[in-house]
Structure 1
Amino acid sequence: MSHTAHIPSHRKPRQSASKTALRAGVAGGVLSTIAVAGAAGPAQAEPVTQTIEMPTITAGLSPAVAASAEATQQVALDLETQANEDAAAETAAKKAKKAKAEAVRKAEAEKKAEAAAKARAEAAEEAAERASRTAERTTLSASSGSSASSSAPSSYSSSSATGSAASIVAFAKAQVGDAYVPGGTGPNSWDCSGLVQAAYASVGIDLPRVSQSQSTFGTQVSLDSLQPGDILYWGSAGSAYHVAIYVGGGQFVGAQNSSTGTVQRSLDYDMPTGAVRVL
């Protein structure tokens, strides 16, 4: 017995020629079918023409979204309008404040200028008044050949005022400190003749209104024999430019000018030209 008799062989058994031919024929038929199908496939394919529409999920929200957008736009417009109005109001307020400040500044400047001009005018008025009185006294002295009218009297009456004279003196003194105003007749501002007229009216005596007429109303008296209540005048009798009331003790009360107002002064301050006695 051979040692290799039962060892199986590893070689594949030979196939028969008929099986091989059969398998070759089947494979060839399959390949032919695939080739025929591939050639015919592209020509027979039809394009897809149907369109699938997806549902619009926001279609129902369009009116609400539009309304919301419109409301938002309106709010934005309102805010912009309000901002513009606020800015305009602020600008107008600043301009008004600036204009007011400028007006106040101009008013103060005008007030100061007016006060300065008034002070200069009053100073000039007083200087002119003094110069006029001095010139008048000089003229009167030259025409009379005597200086008695322009010199202080040697003595003043020391008698006390009584009766109506006392009332006139008291009235005149009560007005000291009042303002001088041309044409003033009281009760808190006077001109010279207005004060004298009011003082005499307080005791029921009606004097003329102007100094020229007052300087001749009554009896002319010497400056050396004055009595309280006498009317002093500056200038000549009948054309006097200033009057006052003698109150005794060498003093007079008169509404002098815009600078001094109504004052009580010594006769030496501004010596009068003459005097008249009414009482």
Structure 2
Amino acid sequence: MSHTAHIPSHRKPRQRASKSALRAGVAGGVLSTIAVAGAAGPAQAEPVTQTIEMPTITSGFATAVAASAQATQQVALDLETQADEDAAAEKAAKTAKKAHAEAVRKAEAKKKAEAAAKAKAEAEAEERAERASRTSERTTLSASSGSSDSGSSASAPSSSSSNVSGSAASIVAFAKAQVGDAYVSGGTGPNAWDCSGLTQAAYRTAGIDLPRVSQSQSTFGTQVSLDNLQPGDILYWGSAGSAYHVAIYVGGGQFVGAQNSSTGTVQRSLDYDRPTGAVRVL
């Protein structure tokens, strides 16, 4: 065996016959062109124009592309429709929730209004009943006072003490009948009083017109000691002529007065709030 038998060849592998023939043809053409150009001299060479044919798109491929585009468009339309439906559903849910909340609010408002109306009706009915009771009581007291005065006049027409006693009873009865009424600054009745408004109205039942304010009422009459009080006497707090509160002594160590907005018109013991002095008008 030769010593070069295992040495690999450095030659490139043979190319295909078609490529070799193509190259041979191209080379031959180029040499022929050069030879012709040399023989012709310096004549102007014309440009070589080469036309490249593009592959023709078959009708089947075009149909597939059109179908794909149509499918893509349909998917987009479906997604858009789904988005619109979702938005509509969300809007409907919000509207329903809002309507429900509004219905609940109206129901609660109606319930509160009905409760308030019921409470108001009950309060008005109670007030009417109370007024009717007071009116009946005042009518009875007035009739009783009138009968007492008539009887006293018949038996002793010249007796001034009997007249005073009857007037005092009327004043006391009127004052007691107002217990429970509200206190309102400047109130003169029939169901709300301030202190001097109540005493003025009570004395009016006896035909006596007192001054309107407590300062003047505290000097309208004869000053008497708190140890010598009689029913119907006017009690005052503060000094005579500058009193800030008045009430009516009803006997038994008690008085009736329109005290303040917290208590209203009350009947209390003298020890509850000891007055400064008293005046006797009758």
Larger RCO, structure (CA 8 Å, separation 6 or more): 1
TM range (shorter): 0.3 to 0.5
TM-score normalised by the chain length of structure 2: 0.45
Which entry has the higher C-alpha Rg, 1 or 2?
A: 1
TM-score normalised by the chain length of structure 1: 0.45
